[in-house]
Amino acid sequence: MRILVALLVFSIIIIVHEFGHFLLAKLNGITVLEFSLGMGPRLLSHEFGGTRYSWKLLPFGGSCMMLGEDGDEDGEGSFGSKSVWARMSVIVAGPLFNFLLGFVLAIFIVGTIGYDVPVVYKVSDGMPAQAAGIQAGDIITKMNGKKIHLYREFANYSLFHPGETVVFEYERDGQRYEAVVEPVLTDGGYKYGISSINYREKVGPLGTLQYSAYEVRYWIDTTIDSLKLLLRGGVTINDMSGPVGVVDMIGDTYEESKSDGTMYVWLNLVNIAILLTANLGVMNLLPIPALDGGRLVFLILEAIRRKRIEPELEAKIHMTGLMLLMLLMVVVMFNDVRKIFM
């Protein structure tokens, strides 16, 4: 059951991403040859309206294959026959739909249990935060100019900015204050001396929409900060997870949540889905050949030059990028399997 639940969550996220490409392709008059879930040989397939809809053997990934997408066709209904702005909209639609899915799911979370308030629960004696004047009950609003809306934004700040002196802006009894805090290095990492709890507060309909947007933005920012940490060497490729690791994580969450009741199962799975869909959206926008971001780079260059880059050259670059991504996926998948059986 855990595997089925994990595959269902994973599949919904992929379908929404590919549906973004599919919908904008159809709206722009581009012929969609195949819309599929999964990879490899077809298990089920049906053709309707000039498009083949398929369910494939390997339950990872999916695709929206458009006529002339790889530059081998420029006739009527092909990808290349449309304006550069139309093609950009098709490419951007996939990641955008991932973010929209995250927003819709966040409405369920925030509407059900509220948002996590960035309130100070306790200030440790003798620590920098106490010396700076921060007290229990203060609500953190900014850290080094970055607006803080959620408890997790505050809690994870030192993870992505280790050792950084922080200018805290906070509210107390309706008044705004500012404090400069230099963290100290302990066995558990850099600490400000501030303890907090995941205290949630429910808000009205407009507040729910507002904090749902903050929720999605938090996961987008976390994904970007994690990539920066990877580039700085703060984490390694062994810390990354691919499809196998993601499925295992979802399955573990499902099993651990069952004892708390159906509602907690849904809340935890939806929370993971928000993380994954935001992650997929960001990763696909990276300027790497074969990814949406890589294709977008070529379209931006075309818009600037007012001349399309040679389709055959672009296709070769994307194919090279795809091969390297597949190699990376194999390495990550191997690590996922190794970690499961360790």
Q: Domain boundaries in the chain?
A: 1-11+83-114+203-342, 116-201
Q: Looking at residue 332, what is its pLDDT?
A: 65
> Helices 243-257 and 2-27, interaxial angle, to 10°?
120
Intervals of the chain under pLDDT 70? 1-2, 60, 71-73, 234-249, 251-254, 256, 258, 260, 332-342
CATH number of 116-201: 2.30.42.10
Among the listed residues 179, 186, 171, the one whose alpha carbon sits nearest the alpha carbon of residue 120: 171
Could you give the CA distance from residue 290 to residue 296 in angstroms, rounded to a whole number?
Answer: 10
User: Quick one: which H or E segment has residue 243?
Assistant: helix 243-257
Q: Looking at residue 341, what is its pLDDT?
A: 62
Contact 308, 80 (CB under 8 A): yes
pLDDT tens digit sequence for 189-232: 888 998 877 789 999 999 999 999 999 999 999 989 888 887 77
CA atoms within 13 A on the CB side of 102: 26
Active site residue: 18, 69, 153, 314, which one? 18
Q: Looking at residue 179, what is its pLDDT?
A: 93
Whether 164 is catalytic is no
In three-state secondary structure terms, 308 is: coil
Q: Looking at residue 93, what is its pLDDT?
A: 96
Q: Which two tokens stand for residue 188?
A: 């558990």
Residue 327: C-alpha distances to residues 59, 245, 276 (Å) = 18, 16, 21
Contact 166, 143 (CB under 8 A): yes
Could you give the CA distance from residue 3 to residue 251 in angstroms, rounded to a whole number?
Answer: 6
**Maximum alpha-carbon separation in the chain:** 72
Among the listed residues 158, 154, 160, the one whose alpha carbon sits nearest the alpha carbon of residue 142: 154
Model pTM? 0.86
Q: Looking at residue 99, what is its pLDDT?
A: 97
Contact 120, 194 (CB under 8 A): yes
Could you give the CA distance from residue 227 to residue 234 in angstroms, rounded to a whole number?
Answer: 10
Contact 320, 229 (CB under 8 A): no
Q: Which two tokens stand for residue 103?
A: 């927003």
Could you give the CA distance from residue 305 to residue 57 in angstroms, rounded to a whole number?
Answer: 42
Among the listed residues 194, 209, 208, the one whose alpha carbon sits nearest the alpha carbon of residue 118: 194
User: Which distant-in-sequence residues (6+ apart) come within 8 Å of 113 by Cβ?
Assistant: 200, 202, 267
Q: Looking at residue 256, what is its pLDDT?
A: 66
Residue 77: C-alpha distances to residues 154, 180, 209 (Å) = 49, 59, 38
First vs last C-alpha separation in the chain: 22
Give the Cβ contact number of residue 145 at 10 Å: 7
Beta bridge pairs of residue 52:
34, 47
Could you give the CA distance from residue 125 to residue 108 in angstroms, rounded to a whole number?
Answer: 39
Among the listed residues 223, 258, 218, the one whose alpha carbon sits nearest the alpha carbon of residue 241: 223
Contact 86, 23 (CB under 8 A): no
Phi first, then psi, for residue 335 (nearest 5°) are -65, -40
Could you give the CA distance from residue 58 to residue 152 in angstroms, rounded to a whole number?
Answer: 35
Beta bridge pairs of residue 314:
none
pLDDT tens digit sequence for 118-168: 999 999 998 999 999 999 999 999 999 999 999 999 888 888 888 899 999
Q: Which two tokens stand for residue 342?
A: 């360790």
User: Which distant-in-sequence residues (6+ apart) come within 8 Å of 328 by Cβ?
Assistant: none
